[in-house]
Structure 1
Amino acid sequence: MSGGFDPLHPRDVDLPTRVPLKGDLSTGDVAISLDDAKIFAAPADAGDLVQWRLQLTAWRDGARKRHGEPTRYNDGAAAWASRCFTVAQVWLWDELFFDFEAQRFTPERFLADARERFGGLDGIVLWHAYPVIGIDDRNQWDYYNVPGLADVSAALRRAGVAVFLSYMPWDIGTRRSGDDAAELTAAVRRLGADSVFLDTLKKADRSLVAALDAARPGIGLEGESKLSTDRIADHTLSWAQWFADSEVPGVLRARWFERRHMQHHIRRWHRDHAEELRAAWLNGVGVLVWEVVFGAWVGWNDRDSATLRRMVPVQRGFHRWLVDGEWTPLTVTEGPVVGSSFDLDGIKLLLLANTSDTDAKHQLAGTGWDPLHPGDTSEVITVPANGIAAAVQVSAGAVVPGEIAAVQTALAGEPAVRNSSFRHRRARRLSAPPWPGPAAPAAFSAAAVSAVTVPAGEYTLTVRYRMRETGMYGGAPYVDEWKPLSPRLHDQRTLDRFVTLPRPVHVAAEEVSEAEYARFLDAVGEHAEARDPERPATKVTLARAREYAAWAGGRLPSEDEWQLAAADPGFRRRTPEVWNWTESEHSDGRTRFVMLKGGSAHRSRGSNWYFDGGVQPPEFTAKLLLPGLGLDASASIGFRICRDQSDDGGGPQ
């Protein structure tokens, strides 16, 4: 806790807004202040619900007069957004989305996993640049210039999944290649995107909206966190990020203003999503599934995954009721069970949620009820602990909609699940693959390279790093925190590593030079122009750096060996200084990352979101998420090699 802010609890700005039960809420300062709410809090006394609903309606009528009717939603090209209930945010190089061994994208594998665990996806945000951007001069558009990515987008859209691109307005310190609006619209056209996620922005500049509309009619714009009421008209989606609810779930202001506006509830660091799921359920909106937050694993538990599987068939099947029906919030407030209803064409859709840790029963009043979830009856519904349930009531004389049977069939194999334990993932260090190629000439072997020796022994290393959302070696950095703020976000931290070297290691005194690397390229049959013998070789992928090291009779040093060697006076840096690859590639099964050492002369300026830059002391370590298809090659990364001393003490081997 710092400066009075407790990261485990909502800030004042995140709290729900109380709705006055007296006074005219259609106009005046109080009404205007409600335009800025995240969630309208439910009244503490159930006896006030009728008046509360009247006041919400008065506010909405007044807000429509103040801000105008959101006519964009009448455009058929934009209608898809109101059906986009479940969206996943995926790092392009997530190991479920990309096969590192085959070096190809596997969107079909990602979608299959989502169908099994979440009931399928309606959209995917293709996250591409942060947190690696800034390591060199490449801009955010360069990171979307990926071979095969347009084919991935096309495959997703054929599967009925909308494609979202990410726009980072804070990217101002990398190379300039054109106006942001022109670059973004070009990417939308090239990749066939349906929507744009506005990273760090609540809303887009109106000129950007116009440019994107021209590029893709009906394009969705999704702001991060609270969207102002006046911009609901041209942003068909928004995040409900860091929205604290009242004890009895309240009403989302943006959704109440325009029923066709889609919001996605998200608390990125939480291991328990029950609260945002029930808020989304009762408001008829969606959720964001984000299991790998910029390299940190925060996967969903079995209970919440099952809850989402029980939600989405109802939401998709009864979409018309959610956007066109008469919405009556909190028609049920019985102990831990709360519910809202949506009436259309003589059919009442009742959505129920349980706010407690134990199962609860709800008695259905009246006749004509048809439960949607397995195991329930036309009289009593079981609402599972921290879960949801639904039923439909058909009025006398009303036509029974086909949606009832279709949804019941979809839900037949979806019982509630009670296990809410977190599924940990442990990162393991990966070994370099064997090198089947030729060996370097004896005169150019690692034994002939000037080196410093790290003796065998046990060491305690102090490692310094900047805390980012990637975390460090393992585990999410902000578990169950509400919103990490500075100084917790991007602060400098220290940890100790306990290292044992079983034998001495000889680490090259300098990075491999351009000229040395050119000899390797010639040896493997790739033509290389004459290179500088003093500058470090760069734009070399981790795989290629490993191949060079093996060709030269050695390997890459681990980050610990690199740090220990750097303490030797003979350890040198070529210029311009560059980060060094290390033999410290890790994977937790979803994210691959590598530890870099040394820092670089390059520094991208203008935002704290950029990768670490500048020359760093030996104890500093940076965690780089590993991209595929050669994108890990960087003008700011070089490498040096090392060799282990033989067991008999007879020198390097």
Structure 2
Amino acid sequence: MTIRYEDRPPLIGAPGDHREWDKWREDLKLWRTEALQALQLRRESYEKPEFEWMQRCFAFGKVMLFDRQFLDPVSGEFKADAWLDQVDREFGGFDALALWQAYPRIGIDSRNQFDHYRLVPGGLGALKRLVEKIHKRGTKVVLAYNPWDVGTRREPKSDAETLVDLVSEVGFDGVFLDTLTEGGRDLRSAMDRARPGVVLESELALPVQAIPDHHASWAQWFDDSDVPGILRNKWIEQRHMQHLIRRWDTDHSGELQTAWMNGAGVFVWQNVFGSWNGWTDRDKAILRSMLPIQRRYWQQFTAGVWTPLVETTVEGLFASRWEHKGTVLWTLVNRLSKPVDGFIHGISSDGTIRLFDLVRGEEVDHAQVIVPGRWIGAILAIPSRMVDNDFKAFLTAQKGRFDANAGLTRIEPMPVRKKVTIAKRPSAPAGMKRVDKGVYNLVSRFRVRECDEYENCAYQNQAYPMIHQHKLVERPVDVGEFALMEREVSNKEFAAFLKATNYRPRQAEGFLARWKNGSPTPSIEQLPVTNVDMNDARAYATWAGMRLPTEDEWQLAVIQHKLHTGDVWNWTESEHTDGRTTFSILKGGCANSISGSQWYFDSGVQSPEWSAKYIHFWPALDRSDAIGFRCAVDL
């Protein structure tokens, strides 16, 4: 007899009428049985101990490797301990951390996604030491794979084999599959060759058929029903971990509640490609209360008998039941914005079984629970013999966390521009074009990306925001009298600067990479100097008695005097930082063009109005053969 598999949505909604819950649960059980029979899923990999870590990975975080709180670009040192100490205080710690490397910078030149790992300070050796340091804290480390990166430098081997090399050499524990629903059997086989226990986790909704090869998947922008629904993949295989994520939301209580009711995890992501969307203190406090329970009772969620939507006595309060080895755990959520005080039907303590409120860290006589608005609750029924000193210490810690959950919401700083001033010149030097003092109506154009332009993205509480479209910004600009170079500084001119000053950058990686033996070859002497970062360009300008132009000055002068552009992008004096992300605005475009994906940095020759936000990483990666500079003077 052939059993036909009928798929369900990634999040299966629940009926609003509690009288329908029994039938809904029975239908779910029948569907799961039929699905397992029809698909013949191979689930033996979930029995392997090397993959068990993902079953306990309830808090998964992401860090941008360019984040100034994670990397000191001056010393080239990663500040992992300080960064993770803050995570411990605010969130209760991460079980895994993804190290994000390339987007939204990739595509400005030919360097590919793997180069962005190789070119971190100290190279792969330093990256390996970073991973080892994070491992010592009990946190797994995951790399990001961008399958859309098809237009940059090609590796001499396949992406899968390159990933094998990276995972093996650095010691990564997993691969995050950016923009993919699944990685496929070939990638699974490749990771098994790299090292034991390498987990694949998809960004998009993982098909049920791929559960055997992917021990985790994102539950991104899953819309839950008013009554908490069921994560399809978790229902099919309880050992499969899912991480709830809504990157642009300002209220994460919905993700936390769905995770709590499903025995799943959450993905914590605050620096979203350079746009800051920090979690509120309330949401952090909920997670700090959740995680110790999930980590202590993780087998309830992976091997226990799961009963969704058991009956409670009050509107807005919902519960899941998890029974495992003589203990029963109820995870509860309050959907309302006000506190609720209710009971779970049919349970009470007696001489042999004791009841505890695990969120508040206290014993209760019956299954009454008080849950604050949009918060969580937990009741544990446990044999008296299991109430030992270790359990009592756990309760004490939980009570402390709950009592300390109030805090002040911090105001996040906006990016601040760094200013540079120089002495004025009486007239425009030769080879420079003058612009009069005045207020100009300036129209700039940029492509909307997740890093936006100057401020954080205005995508709050949107699931699929409109990105990649063009946006015009019109504003009055007040400038003093100045002059701009007609063309970029050449390699020959930069060589004269080095000879006169013996300038050497503190971090020389990638500096003047096109030169041979410390000098430009004759064929490139008159071409724009490239492979210099903003500080290198500033050093030249200072020596020459000039400065870098602002992006507005650059645009005004180029338009007024119809100056040639498009050989290379131009640095401008537009550096901004919010303490986490540092960026500047590039102008002019570049003759080189990287194509093949909408996710790449802006490429090709651009109009003078075009602006492109370039996030700074560290000198070796900021220096590009696609970026040069011009100088300006004040008049």
Equivalent runs, 1:254-293 vs 2, <5 Å: 254-293=233-272
- Kindly state the Cα deviation for residue 624 of structure 1 after the two structures are TM-superposed: 0.9
Equivalent runs, 1:453-464 vs 2, <5 Å: 453-464=434-445
The answer to whether structure 1 residue 68 and structure 2 residue 15 are counterparts is: no
Moved more, 47-56 or 553-562: 47-56
The answer to whether structure 1 residue 553 and structure 2 residue 526 are counterparts is: no
Which residue of structure 2 lines up, in the alignment, with residue 415 of structure 1? 402
Conserved 8 A contact 1:313-1:410: no
Which residue of structure 1 lines up, in the alignment, with residue 31 of structure 2? 59
The answer to whether structure 1 residue 571 and structure 2 residue 553 are counterparts is: no
Letter in 2 for 1:631: L
Equivalent runs, 1:14-33 vs 2, <5 Å: 29=4, 31-33=5-7
Letter in 1 for 2:358: L
Which residue of structure 2 lines up, in the alignment, with residue 103 of structure 1? 76
1 CA distance for matches of 2:455 and 2:81? 28
Letter in 1 for 2:150: I
- Kindly state the Cα deviation for residue 643 of structure 1 after the two structures are TM-superposed: 1.4
Which residue of structure 1 lines up, in the alignment, with residue 446 of structure 2? 465
Equivalent runs, 1:520-539 vs 2, <5 Å: 520-525=497-502, 528-531=518-521, 532-539=524-531
Which residue of structure 1 lines up, in the alignment, with residue 513 of structure 2? none
2 CA distance for matches of 1:286 and 1:56? 22
Q: Secondary structure, in 3 states, of the residue corresponding to 1:78?
A: helix
2 CA distance for matches of 1:176 and 1:239? 29
Q: Could you tell me which of 314, 321, 335 is aligned with 1:355?
A: 335
Which residue of structure 1 lines up, in the alignment, with residue 94 of structure 2? 121
- Kindly state the Cα deviation for residue 137 of structure 1 after the two structures are TM-superposed: 0.7
1 CA distance for matches of 2:224 and 2:6? 21
Conserved 8 A contact 2:316-2:335: yes
Conserved 8 A contact 2:588-2:605: yes
Q: Secondary structure, in 3 states, of the residue corresponding to 1:157?
A: helix
1:82-118 deviation digits (Å, cap 9, x = unpaired): 1111111111011221123433211112101111111
TM-score (norm 2): 0.90
Q: Could you tell me which of 414, 426, 431 is aligned with 2:414?
A: 426
User: 5+ unaligned residues in a row in structure 1: which ranges?
Assistant: 1-25, 646-653
Q: Secondary structure, in 3 states, of the residue corresponding to 2:322?
A: strand
Identity of aligned residues (%): 40
Q: Could you tell me which of 246, 256, 276 is aligned with 1:297?
A: 276
Which residue of structure 2 lines up, in the alignment, with residue 341 of structure 1? 321
User: Aligned in 2, Cα 1:27/1:626: closer, same or farther, shift over 3 Å?
Assistant: farther
1:162-203 deviation digits (Å, cap 9, x = unpaired): 111011111110111221111111111222100000001110
Q: Could you tell me which of 348, 354, 357 is aligned with 1:366?
A: 348
1 CA distance for matches of 2:399 and 2:582? 38
Equivalent runs, 1:44-55 vs 2, <5 Å: 44-55=16-27
Q: Could you tell me which of 612, 615, 630 is aligned with 1:625?
A: 615
The answer to whether structure 1 residue 43 and structure 2 residue 24 are counterparts is: no
Give the count of matched residue pairs. Answer: 602
2 CA distance for matches of 1:623 and 1:408? 49
1:387-446 deviation digits (Å, cap 9, x = unpaired): 1121211247x64477643432332322275789784431111245x99xxx9xx9xxx9
2 CA distance for matches of 1:506 and 1:124? 48
RMSD: 2.4
- Kindly state the Cα deviation for residue 79 of structure 1 after the two structures are TM-superposed: 0.8
2 CA distance for matches of 1:629 and 1:157? 27
Conserved 8 A contact 1:304-1:420: no
2 CA distance for matches of 1:418 and 1:275? 19
1 CA distance for matches of 2:251 and 2:22? 32
Letter in 1 for 2:378: A
Q: Could you tell me which of 286, 290, 311 is aligned with 1:307?
A: 286
1 CA distance for matches of 2:447 and 2:471? 6
1 CA distance for matches of 2:70 and 2:63? 8
Q: Secondary structure, in 3 states, of the residue corresponding to 2:60?
A: strand
The answer to whether structure 1 residue 615 and structure 2 residue 592 are counterparts is: no
Letter in 1 for 2:572: T
Which residue of structure 2 lines up, in the alignment, with residue 10 of structure 1? none
Letter in 2 for 1:118: F
Which residue of structure 2 lines up, in the alignment, with residue 385 of structure 1? 373
Q: Could you tell me which of 569, 579, 598 is aligned with 1:589?
A: 579
TM-score (norm 1): 0.88
The answer to whether structure 1 residue 157 and structure 2 residue 121 are counterparts is: no
1 CA distance for matches of 2:296 and 2:392? 10
Conserved 8 A contact 1:600-1:615: yes
User: Aligned in 2, Cα 1:127/1:405: closer, same or farther, shift over 3 Å?
Assistant: same
User: Aligned in 2, Cα 1:343/1:570: closer, same or farther, shift over 3 Å?
Assistant: closer
Equivalent runs, 1:465-504 vs 2, <5 Å: 465-484=446-465, 488-501=466-479, 503-504=480-481
1 CA distance for matches of 2:311 and 2:395? 22
Conserved 8 A contact 1:297-1:425: no
